């Protein structure tokens, strides 16, 4: 049952082949059995899930089922969920029970979804391996000695191990696509503003975007359709109609041209990954796509630009975690002053990577450094965005690797932040340019999944998902499930 896709499960529910309660119990049991090892969940909301499932069954019985009625999902612990601990992977929010639902949570719930729990993540979404979580690292279901990627590592592992049929995630520099690639599943980051950020704890506001981690592009279409759309509570959300993604994915293949930046296949890419990617591109060509070699002349600047812009915004976004109104508050002796109060609350509440980024961000925004770093990075961001705009005059998609290599070992890159940051080298461009991008399984290297990334023009999610769906109709990489 757990290997069935969302689309299949939705059909099963409607045909009453399975009840929402049975489904919820099944996945809760899988979590119970497997998650001690994987550590994909920070909070499991069994009681709530069963109550929601019971309500879904009543609706199903009355024939009132909507798009996702009875479908179990997991939410990344970055989304606020009313009455449920929302930790953001941090000690800072270990005691934080959100008083409201994020728009994403609310919309999926309104569409009938059942929440299984909240998934593990790098602290405040800062990380590429899920090792910065205060709640311990997540293990890659394909090999427990390896990382699942991050920051949406818990969501990726949960879906890869089929502890949940699908999960939400957020992507600031690759945090959906990179773990999707390393865990062998499909992950899409929509256009910036396509999905509301309201209730999603901010890391870098101009880059953050919510999306999904699923077994297939078709499933992603189904979820995105329920999540996307304008939200008056988020000024940066786009006031554009939401296409019927779930229908469009099945429509016939268009004439498409896929641009391939040859620089993506340079020395930085694992040779075996390159081979798998070339094979996948050949498969797409066989399906009728035209391949075209392109250049993104400034893309090599994306990592340094990102590591100025994202920490700058983060340093400000994380200022609210001061222990005054919520979150971690240190024990203070009488007579200790306000500065000590702040230092202790934040010093104890935040982990090392978060502190590193707050310090970096504070530095690049400081008087005397602002122009050289922040403004310069914004100019580079514009250049990268322009590169994509130029490319999309000639091609419909830009394809390439999602990551430089398959999943790496736990602890392998934790001592060298730069080495860790370079893991996002192929994914960051889409965030800087605000473009929709998707990673899907396209082969295996040394028994580990490899992801193919496709980037599309603004608001071309439907086309992106359609290409993904057609590729997945012709291949079975996405159906492979780890042994355990």
CA pair distance 152, 183, nearest whole angstrom? 11
CB of residue 322 to other proteins, shortest distance in Å = 6
DSSP bridge pairs for 188: 212, 438
φ/ψ of 89, rounded to 5, equals: 70, 15
Is residue 339 at the binding interface for other proteins, with CB under 8 A as the rule?
yes
In this structure, are residues 236 and 193 in contact, taking their beta carbons and an 8 Å threshold?
A: yes
**Which range of residues in 199-207, 248-256, 299-307, 432-440 is near other proteins by CB under 8 A?**
199-207
The residues carrying an active-site annotation are: 76, 151, 175
* 3-class DSSP assignment, residue 457: coil
Interaction of residue 77 with other proteins, rule CB under 8 A = no
Q: Largest alpha-carbon pair distance within the chain?
A: 73
Q: Tally the C-alpha atoms within 13 A of residue 132's C-alpha that lie toward its C-beta.
A: 28
127 dihedral zone (left: phi>0; alpha: psi -120 to 50; beta) = left
Using rule CB under 8 A, residue 322 touches other proteins = yes
Interface region with other proteins, contact rule CB under 8 A, candidates 99-107, 179-187, 274-282, 420-428: 99-107
Instruction: Give the DSSP H or E segment for 246.
Output: helix 245-248
Q: Identify any residues that bridge with 437 across adjacent strands, giving them in sequence order.
A: 189, 455
Decide if residue 385 touches other proteins (CB under 8 A).
Answer: no
Which neighbouring-strand residues pair with 438? 188, 454
Q: Does 62 bind other proteins (CB under 8 A)?
A: no
Number of residues that bind other proteins (CB under 8 A): 46
Calculate the CA dihedral of residues 424, 425, 426, 432 and round it to 10 degrees: 80
Q: Which stretch binds other proteins (CB under 8 A): 60-68, 137-145, 191-199, 446-454?
A: 191-199
Residue 232 as a binder of other proteins (CB under 8 A): the answer is yes
366 makes contact with other proteins (CB under 8 A): yes
186 DSSP β-pair partners:
214
Relative to beta strand 209-214, strand 72-76 is unpaired
Cα distances from 359 to residues 9, 316, 362, in angstroms, run 46, 11, 5
Say whether residue 384 binds other proteins (CB under 8 A): no
Nearest distance in Å: CB 189, other proteins: 17
Residue closer to other proteins by CB (options 73, 207) is: 207
333 counts as binding other proteins under rule CB under 8 A:
no
Q: Smaller CB distance to other proteins: residue 6 or 88? A: 88
Mark the segment that binds other proteins (CB under 8 A) among 160-168, 211-219, 336-344, 423-431. Answer: 336-344
Among 8, 48, 66, 205, binds other proteins (CB under 8 A): 205
Interaction between residue 374 and other proteins (CB under 8 A): yes
> Which residue, 218 or 322, has its beta carbon nearer to other proteins?
322
Instruction: Pick from 62, 63, 235, 293 the residue near other proteins by CB under 8 A.
Output: 235
* Element of type H or E holding 181: helix 177-183
Instruction: Starting at the earlier edge strand, list the strands of the sheet with 437-445.
Output: 41-44, 114-119, 72-76, 166-171, 209-214, 186-189, 437-445, 448-455, 397-401, 257-261, 290-294
Q: Which is nearer to other proteins, 339 or 415 (CB)?
A: 339
Binding of other proteins by 273 (CB under 8 A): no
| 376 makes contact with other proteins (CB under 8 A) | no
Using the minimum distance from each CB to other proteins, give the nearer residue, 227 or 420: 227
Q: Would you say 70 or 327 has its CB closer to other proteins? A: 327
CB of 367 to other proteins, least distance (A): 5
Q: 5 or 196, CB closer to other proteins?
A: 196
| Region for residue 83 given its phi and psi (left: phi exceeds 0; alpha: psi -120 to 50; beta: otherwise) | left
Closer residue to other proteins in complex, CB, 104/181: 104
CB 122 within 8 A of CB 114: no
Shortest reach from residue 215's CB to other proteins, in Å: 28
The dihedral over CA atoms of 27, 30, 34, 40, expressed in degrees to the nearest 10, equals 0
179-to-149, 251, 359, 449 alpha-carbon distances in Å: 4, 28, 26, 11
In this structure, is the dihedral angle defined by the CA atoms of residues 189, 193, 198 and 202, taken in order, positive or negative?
positive
Residue 204 interacts with other proteins (CB under 8 A)? yes
Binding flag, residue 198, other proteins (CB under 8 A):
yes
Q: Cβ of residue 226: shortest distance to other proteins, in angstroms?
A: 19
Distance separating alpha carbons of residues 409 and 140, to the nearest angstrom:
9
Our finding on whether 98 is near other proteins (CB under 8 A) is: yes
Q: Do residues 397 and 454 lie in contact, with contact meaning Cβ atoms separated by under 8 Å? A: yes
Q: Minimum CB separation from other proteins for residue 309, in Å?
A: 9
**367 touches other proteins (CB under 8 A):** yes
Closer residue to other proteins, CB minimum distance, 19 or 120: 120
Does 324 interact with other proteins (rule: CB under 8 A)?
yes
Using CB under 8 A, list all residues that contact other proteins. Answer: 79-80, 86, 88, 93, 96, 98-100, 102, 197-202, 204-206, 232-236, 312-313, 315-316, 318-322, 324-326, 334, 338-339, 342, 362, 365-367, 370, 374
């Amino acid at each position: 049952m757990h290997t069935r896709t969302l689309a299949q499960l939705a059909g099963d529910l409607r045909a009453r082949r399975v009840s929402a309660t049975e489904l919820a119990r099944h996945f809760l049991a899988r979590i119970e059995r497997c998650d001690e090892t994987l550590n994909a969940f920070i909070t499991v909301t069994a009681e709530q899930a069963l109550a929601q499932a019971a309500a879904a069954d009543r609706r199903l019985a009355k024939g009132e089922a909507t798009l996702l009625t009875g479908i179990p999902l997991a939410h990344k612990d970055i989304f606020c969920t009313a009455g449920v601990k929302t930790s953001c992977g941090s000690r800072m929010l270990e005691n934080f029970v959100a008083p409201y639902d994020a728009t994403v949570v609310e919309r999926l719930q309104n569409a009938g979804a059942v929440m299984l729990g909240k998934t593990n993540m790098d602290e405040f979404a800062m990380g590429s391996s899920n090792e910065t979580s205060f709640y311990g690292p997540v293990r890659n279901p394909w090999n427990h000695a390896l990382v699942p990627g991050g920051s949406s590592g818990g969501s990726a592992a949960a879906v890869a191990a089929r502890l949940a049929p699908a999960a939400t995630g957020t992507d600031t520099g690759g945090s959906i696509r990179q773990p999707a690639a390393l865990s062998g599943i499909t992950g899409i980051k929509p256009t910036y503003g396509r999905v509301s950020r309201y209730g999603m704890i901010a890391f870098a506001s101009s880059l953050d975007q919510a999306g999904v981690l699923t077994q297939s592009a078709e499933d992603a279409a189904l979820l995105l359709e329920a999540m996307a759309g304008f939200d008056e509570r988020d000024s940066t959300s786009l006031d554009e109609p939401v296409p019927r993604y779930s229908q469009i994915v099945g429509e016939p293949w268009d004439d498409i041209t896929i641009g391939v930046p040859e620089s993506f296949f340079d020395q930085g890419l694992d040779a075996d990954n390159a081979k798998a990617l070339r094979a996948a591109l050949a498969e797409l060509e066989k399906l009728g796509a035209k391949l075209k070699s392109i250049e993104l002349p400034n893309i090599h600047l994306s990592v340094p630009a990102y590591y100025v812009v994202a920490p700058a915004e983060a340093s400000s976004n994380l200022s609210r975690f001061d222990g005054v109104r919520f979150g971690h508050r240190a024990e203070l002796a009488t007579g200790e002053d306000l500065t000590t109060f702040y230092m202790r609350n934040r010093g104890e509440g935040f982990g090392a990577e978060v502190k590193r980024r707050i310090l970096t961000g504070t530095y690049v925004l400081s008087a005397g450094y602002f122009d050289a770093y922040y403004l310069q990075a914004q100019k580079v961001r514009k250049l990268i965005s322009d590169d994509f705009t130029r490319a999309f005059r000639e091609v419909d998609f830009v394809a390439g690797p999602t990551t430089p290599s398959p999943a790496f070992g736990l602890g392998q890159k934790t001592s060298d932040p730069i080495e860790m940051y370079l893991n996002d080298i192929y994914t960051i461009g889409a965030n800087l340019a605000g473009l929709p991008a998707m990673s899907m399984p396209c082969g295996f290297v040394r028994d580990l999944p490899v992801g193919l990334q496709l980037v599309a023009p603004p608001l071309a999610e439907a086309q992106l998902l359609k290409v993904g769906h057609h590729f997945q109709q012709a291949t079975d990489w996405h159906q492979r499930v780890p042994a355990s």
